[in-house]
Amino acid sequence: MLEIKNLHAAIDDKEILRGVDLKVNAGEVHAIMGPNGSGKSTLSYVLAGRDGYEVTAGEVTYRGKDLLALAAEERAGEGLFLAFQYPVEIPGVDNATFLKTAYNAVRKYRGEPPVDAMQFLKLMRAKRDQLGMSDEMLRRAVNVGFSGGEKKRNEIFQMAILDPTLAILDETDSGLDIDALRTVADGINALRSPHRAIVVITHYQRLLDYVQPDFVHVLSKGRIVRSGSKELALELEREGYAAIATAA
């Protein structure tokens, strides 16, 4: 589904990614771990198409298409979803309106007719309970006044509505207490599917206790220095990034 080859990327002429290689198939859950500054968030932004990140070399193929040639909203239309580390506040725009606008924009990209308010409400209600979202949260302005846990839950809720083919979760566990972590993890697990690939980017291994990855990769100084099974995450937890990165 996703194939990254020798990806190099820079911000303001400073090279952050220095040759990332990664292959992700449908149905798989990959965890990318790494210390601060290793390029984890840069990788997610480059894949999602954020302005200001310059790809200097390499290629990314997603469902047979050249991902890097697509605009950010086209990538979303193609089923790529990024759960943000810091979800953005949009004052005055309620969550439901935001999501419906996004949902119909994606449908439009795929040549499908827009859904009306009633149909959308039905869809939202179906997904709402799964993530413990209240109606009140849906009526509130996007992420405004949300607690850290609510923001992250809202990201996973959006993911459930938009039903992506490839979901990249950027530090979705950061800032969550143990209960919130469990709710979010349950939400992610509910979205595991043979048709969907999930890439979990995380600093700590604790999320992986709840969301079991098929593969674990260690990102260090802009490159994947080791890949392995779930056990690699435990090894990291024990020995720290420094040891692993040096060994590689």
Nearest to another protein of 13, 51 (CB atom): 51
Tell me how far, at minimum, the Cβ of 198 lies from another protein, in Å: 16
Nearest CB to another protein, comparing residues 26 and 93: 93
The helix/strand count (H/E) of the chain reads as 9, 12
- H helix or E strand, kind and range, residue 237: helix 230-247
Q: How far is the CB of 79 from another protein (least distance, A)?
A: 10
> Which x/- pattern, by CB under 8 A, does the window 175-214 give for another protein?
----------------------------------------
Work out which of 69, 117, 242, 243 binds another protein, going by CB under 8 A: 117
Neighbour tally for 243: CB within 10 Å: 12
- DSSP 3-state of 199: strand
Count other C-beta atoms under 10 Å from residue 12's C-beta: 8
**How many angstroms separate the CA atoms of 196 and 165, rounded?**
5
Q: Does 102 bind another protein (CB under 8 A)?
A: yes
Closest CA to 17 of 68, 91, 66: 68
CA dist 44 and 48 (Å) reads 6
Nearer to another protein, 143 or 205 (CB): 143
Question: Tokens in use for 43?
Answer: 């990788």
Nearer to another protein, 1 or 96 (CB): 96
Cα distances (angstroms) measured from residue 107 to each of 66, 114, 139, 146:
21, 6, 23, 28
- According to CB under 8 A, which residues from 133 to 172 bind another protein? 141, 158, 162
45 φ, ψ (degrees, to nearest 5):
-70, -40
Q: Which of residues 54-93 bind another protein (CB under 8 A)?
A: 71-73, 75-77, 81-82, 84, 87-93
How many residues in the chain?
A: 248
Judged by beta carbon, residue 4 or residue 159, the one nearer another protein is 159
Instruction: Kindly state whether residue 120 participates in binding another protein, applying the rule CB under 8 A.
Output: yes
Query: Per rule CB under 8 A, is residue 236 in the interface with another protein?
Result: no
Interface ranges with another protein (CB under 8 A): 48-52, 71-73, 75-77, 81-82, 84, 87-93, 96-106, 109, 114, 116-117, 120, 141, 158, 162
